[in-house]
Amino acid sequence: MRCADEFRSREITTPLVEEIVRSLKRPVRIMEVCGTHTMSIFRHGIRSLLPDSLTLLSGPGCPVCVTPASHIDAFIKAANLPQVTIATFGDLIRVPGSKGSLAAARAGGARVEIVYSPMDALTLAAQEPGRIVLFPAIGFETTAPTIAATILQAERSGITNFMIIAACKTMPQALEALMADPELQVDALLCPGHVSAIIGADAYRPLAERFHLGCAVAGFEPADILAGLLSLIRQINNDAPRIDNCYTRAVTAQGNIKAQALLNEVFESADSEWRGLGTIPGSGLVLREKYRRFDGLHQLEIPLLPSKEPKGCRCGDILKGRLLPPDCPLYGTACTPLQPIGPCMVSNEGTCAAYYRYSGQKESRRQTQVERS
Amino acid sequence: MCLAIPMQVVEIKGGGDPLFDPQVALVENDGIRKEIRLEMADRVPAVGEYVIIHAGFAIRTLTEEEAEYNLSLMRQMATVLEEQGRLPEAPE
Ligand code: SF4
């Protein structure tokens, strides 16, 4: 599409890069917490345009990557029930649980369909009244209202064979938990575009104030991202952190009130386990009592069991910005996009996958250590 | 999962019954038409306007002018930068 090309054009990005170089007065570490930002930064080679003293860290912004193995295991368990069809976003199917994946279940005969929208899953349920269609509900504040709207539609049209496993998460609580970690050194946050479109730029105010942290909400095109980075560098230079909304074509201060209302009608917050980050209070969304009949865990009596991370996978440290993918001993050897071990290598938005595809670095820096140990 | 690029609405369908025939927008890209739900849209778009989409739902409606204005804003930003070596400060 034409407008996208215009956003990418060098005419716009070159002066932004030059201004970033001019403005940078000391080494700065900025975390981006949106999988789409991560992907865009790599795909457009933005890191290579920026000075070495500006470090970009990827945070827990990829919904697939932060879904813990316990939830993946529950999705697989549901898939293996003979009466159940799983209708899922495509990037979830290859994510490993503690044993196997949805793709492996499908190869073994389970019915797993890829959908683009939760509404497509509901359509499938309407077409096949003899089966239970279960949608693994992962995602952040942008996706949760789409699932809420789908559940409301299911209720209105009296479709009873549609269910979800509620595994959505909310961003501000996770960012609070991350920023409170004394080991994490981050000078400023590049806030997600579409999560912010829903929750509003003001949602980051407590975070900015409590941690004296610069925040910039940015869109996904290179010029958007560069404008966001420049805003953050200026905030750091002036020691005046605030919330700068650099994505006004989608984001307002208050966010999308309709979407918030949908979300609140169907879901309530609960503690939630994040892969690699552990359980974060109030960071998950579960169905309200009123909508309990759509709860697949409850209806199909599937337990959520504690689970282990894949052996040797360092996704947790990567999601916290402590390590870069090549610091993982499995990177590029045992773990590649074709043979992923951890979720960060599976999802298109995962940091390991983006690094592998676009950075040119295809091998772990730690390989020899592993061979010795 | 995010599609960042606004899509132009080519048709508004449905609306006969809010429960069983809710309004949807048809958007077109590369000759492929997609139905987009409007429950989350801040307002119902008119044909020719743009929507930003997430997982089959419009999450924000942009007028044609808004979409173009935003583009020109980005271009202007670049020009100002080139001339003055700095971006205009965003209003607080
Ligand atoms: S390279 Fe693979 S194993 Fe290592 S952290 Fe990334 S996803 Fe996990």
pLDDT by residue (tens digit) across A171-222? 999 999 999 988 888 999 999 988 999 999 999 999 999 999 999 999 888 8
A124 inside domain: yes
Which tokens is A142 given?
A: 């942008």
* Per-residue pLDDT, A101: 93
pLDDT by residue (tens digit) across A361-370? 888 887 544 4
Residue numbers of B between 39 and 58 with CB closer than 8 Å to A: 39-42, 52, 54-57
A221 inside domain: no
Among A81-85, A309-313, B26-30, the range with the most confident prediction by mean pLDDT is A81-85
pLDDT by residue (tens digit) across A118-136? 999 999 999 999 999 999 9
Q: Averaged over B77-89, what is the pLDDT?
A: 52
Contact between A253 and A198 under an 8 Å Cβ cutoff? The reply is: no
Tell me: pLDDT of A372 over 80. no
Q: What is the whole-number distance in angstroms between the Cα of residue A340 and the centre of ligand 1?
A: 7
d(CA A124, CA A102): 18
Q: What is the whole-number distance in angstroms between the Cα of residue A344 and the centre of ligand 1?
A: 6
In eight-state DSSP terms, residue B81 is: H
Give the ipTM of the model, two decimals please.
0.82
Q: Is B77 on the interface with A (CB under 8 A)?
A: yes
Which fold, B5-83? SH3 type barrels. (2.30.30)
Please name the residue of chain B whose CA is at the shortest distance from the CA of residue A230.
Answer: B87
Which residues from chain B sit within 8 angstroms of residue A258, using beta carbons? 39-42
Q: What is the whole-number distance in angstroms between the Cα of residue A194 and the centre of ligand 1?
A: 26
pLDDT by residue (tens digit) across A297-307? 999 999 999 88
d(CA A27, CA A178): 21
Out of B20, B55, B92, the one facing A117 most closely (by C-beta) is B55
A121 inside domain: yes
Q: Is A330's C-beta closer than 6 angstroms to any atom of ligand 1?
A: yes
d(CA B35, CA A103): 28
pLDDT range class, residue B73, cuts 50, 70, 90: low
State whether residue A314 is helix, strand or coil: coil
A226 inside domain: no
A33 inside domain: no
Count of domains in chain A?
1
Query: What DSSP element (H or E) covers A251?
Result: none
The DSSP-derived string for A299-325 is HTT------PPPTT--HHHHHTTSS-G
* Per-residue pLDDT, A155: 95
Nearest Cα to Cα of residue B77 among A249, A218, A7, A45: A7
In chain A, what percentage of residues exceed pLDDT 90?
Answer: 62
- Average the pLDDT over each of A5-9, A38-42, A336-340, A354-358 and give the range with the smallest value: A5-9
Bridge partners, residue A335, by sequence? A331
Start-to-end CA distance of chain B, whole Å, equals: 31
A344 inside domain: no
Q: Is A313's C-beta closer than 6 angstroms to any atom of ligand 1?
A: yes
- Residues contacting A270, CB < 8 A, separation 6+: A282, A284, A285, A286
State whether residue A32 is helix, strand or coil: strand
Domain residue limits at A126: 65-170+255-299
Taking CB atoms and an 8 Å limit, are A193 and B4 in contact across chains? yes
Q: Averaged over B58-73, what is the pLDDT?
A: 79
* Per-residue pLDDT, B78: 57
Strand blocks (E) in A218-330 = 243-245, 267-274, 278-287
Tell me: pLDDT of B1 over 50. no
A247 inside domain: no
State whether residue A138 is helix, strand or coil: strand
Which tokens is A185 given?
A: 């050194």
pLDDT by residue (tens digit) across A227-248? 899 999 999 999 999 999 988 8
Q: What is the mean pLDDT of chain A?
A: 89
Q: Is A35's C-beta closer than 6 angstroms to any atom of ligand 1?
A: no
A81 inside domain: yes
* Per-residue pLDDT, A342: 87
Work out the widest C-alpha separation in chain A, in whole angstroms: 64
Please name the residue of chain A whose CA is at the shortest distance from the CA of residue B55.
Answer: A117
CATH assignment at residue A109: 3.40.50.11740
